[in-house]
Amino acid sequence: MKHMPGSLFEGYVAFKYGRFRTERARYHELAKKGQKPDVMIIGCCDSRAAPEMIFDAVPGELFVVRNVANLVPPYAPDGEYHSTSAALEYAVQVLRVGHIVVLGHARCGGIAAALQEDSEPLSPGDFIGKWMSLTEAAKQDLVNHAPVAPESRTETMEKLSILRSLENLRSFPCISIIEERGRTALHGAYFDIETGVLSWYDRASGWFRPVEVGLQPPV
């Protein structure tokens, strides 16, 4: 029988006697009053791209949903199980977040696999193939995109996929309405796991720009 992994045990002890102590008052307050995060993040399951770490977040600050390749499916009230859509609905209608960020990242295994023509699916199981078919629109965007150097193809696709997810976010009536009213802003972001550089989608240029440390936050 396998025990609790030692790394989790040691990590938990470090948290309980370190960060939890430092943040005790905040946890106490959050337990009493409930959470009220202003930011929702849709990130990838990838172990190298944890939103709470990238944004050095404190407890209660970020409402995070993570899925394979940080994809947002289009609005589809079809009676099926939709975990990402359920999280979105909760964030918007109950928590009333002021920002929704689709956070993509470099070297995304899901996106890389989606780009490999005639490749084996990511797994022999029942779910990933269907889920990754959500990238078809972004793949088409890549075809229509200005020519891209072969070494930049994956990165461009990762970013185009973020834009498609933003578009899909807007297909949810409850989201498009609050965006129009200015109550909630939608953002795209991209994290380079090798350099630690975060890029932010810039509406003016229609593409991603590195966040300049020490300057004003991007719009």
Instruction: By CB under 5 A, name the binding residues for Zn ion.
Output: 44, 46, 108
Cβ distance to Zn ion smaller for residue 44 or 92: 44
Cβ distance to Zn ion smaller for residue 107 or 170: 107
CB of 99 to Zn ion, least distance (A): 21
CB of 83 to Zn ion, least distance (A): 17
Cβ distance to Zn ion smaller for residue 46 or 155: 46
Angle of helix 153-170 relative to helix 136-144, nearest 10 degrees? 120
CB of 25 to Zn ion, least distance (A): 35
Q: Which residues pair with 84 in a beta bridge?
A: none
CB of 218 to Zn ion, least distance (A): 22
Cβ distance to Zn ion smaller for residue 79 or 196: 196
